[in-house]
Homo-oligomer: A and B are copies of this chain.
Amino acid sequence: MKEITRKEEIITTAAKLFKEKGYSAVTMRDIATAMGMKAASLYNHISSKQEILKDIIISLAEEFTEEMFLIKQSETNTLNKLENIVALHVNITSRNPDGMASLNSDWMHLEEQLDYYLELRVNYENDFRSILKSGILNKEIANNNMEVMLFSMLSTLRSLYMWIPSKEDLELQKISSELSKVLINGINK
């Protein structure tokens, strides 16, 4: 049922290579070799190296921003929202750890789509901020320096791709809840 196109194969192959050496250090010939073909043949499926990067990053960034907005709007308390944010990151990262590496390390090499990416990121971070802020106002979480709390949680969640190389689904639930425990107990009174 699930049709895997040659283009998608190229993109996942490229993402794996980008994770190891970064976008700039990976050549079209590297990608082609990993696919078992010649560099020129890649262009039957993709239009440029840049398009590969865009296809890896933008869909992930959009997913994060959309889901963060839904969590912010949801009718639940701050602690649940934070747990949902952690679960969101664990889920997406476990589904595509290589893509997450590009999202975190190679976004600055986006060209046409750079401004759009930055816009998505700002929205995502502002929604995160807004959740923390109302949690502090409601006295649901500790009144520590908000930017420090945001920075600490974001840093950990963004680094998950180095740590979750596609574990089993059962383990993921555990990781998500243990991570929530560690992160949230640093915020909860």
The main secondary structure of chain A at its interface with chain B is helix
Q: Does A170 contact B (CB under 8 A)?
A: no
Does A187 count as interface, using CB distance less than 8 angstroms?
A: yes
A165: Cβ under 8 A from any B Cβ: no
Q: How many residues of A contact B (CB 8 A)?
A: 32
Give the complex CA separation of A156 and B182 in angstroms. Answer: 13
Asked if A110 is at the interface (CB within 8 A of a chain B CB), the reply is no
A133 CB, nearest partner CB in chain B, Å: 16
Assess the A109–B21 pair: CB atoms within 8 A: yes
* Inter-subunit contact A151/B156 (CB<8 Å): yes
* Inter-subunit contact A182/B178 (CB<8 Å): no
Q: Given B144, B149, B163, which contacts A151 in the complex, CB threshold below 8 Å?
A: B163
Q: Which residues of B contact A151 (CB under 8 A)?
A: 156, 159, 163
Taking a contact as CB atoms closer than 8 A, the residue among B20, B159, B175 that contacts A155 in the complex is B159
Query: Are B22 and A178 closer than 8 Å at their CB atoms?
Result: no
Partner of A179, one of B105, B142, B148, B163: B148
Contact A152/B24 with A105-B105, A159-B158 known, Cβ cut-off 8 Å: no
- Kindly supply a per-residue 1/0 record for chain A positions 157-189, scoring 1 wherever the CB is within 8 Å of any chain B CB and 0 otherwise: 011000100000000000100110111111100
A144 to B20, CA, bound (A): 31
